[in-house]
Structure 1
Amino acid sequence: MGFELLRFMLTLVLPDWMQNRQPDEAHFYRRKFTAAYRAKKQRVAMLWCGSGLLMLLIPVPAFVITTSLLTTFISFSLLDETG
């Protein structure tokens, strides 16, 4: 019962284009549901897990900051809409 009430409240608040979850590479929101984008998200998740393990192995603050900034840049580059 709680999920149906939450879903109903979301349909009242969310715009119509956000309720459509059909994959479409040309649409700015629905491209997130394509297989290619999900593969990119999986690659980014693996990248963050690997860099997180590396940061745990080398707990030097300068290395952690540098690695996290570099990983953030690479993540944004991988998930970019143009590529």
Structure 2
Amino acid sequence: MFAPLPHRQSFPTPVDVSFSLRITKTGGTGSASLTRAGESRLAGGEDRPLATLRLSVDSSDICNATLVLHVNGEQAEYSVDRNPDRGAN
């Protein structure tokens, strides 16, 4: 659902990471919203998942997913929408 993120950098020192991930859907099967947030300190060069959310959707459901990521005080936000009436984005 998310576009590929730019190539990850390997940091020689620990990295402080906080994140918020929210997925919402509306459609024929009702509506649902999932949110996951957390903080972590990754060791230099460490590569591991911070969170996983799964939400089942039908072909007619409208979905939105937003990830807000803070790394050592810098913020990035990624968002994706899926509306079957407009096609997938």
Q: Could you tell me the TM-score, scaled by structure 2's length?
A: 0.23
Larger Rg: 1
Q: Which has the higher helix share?
A: 1
Q: Could you tell me the TM-score, scaled by structure 1's length?
A: 0.24
Q: Which has the higher strand share?
A: 2
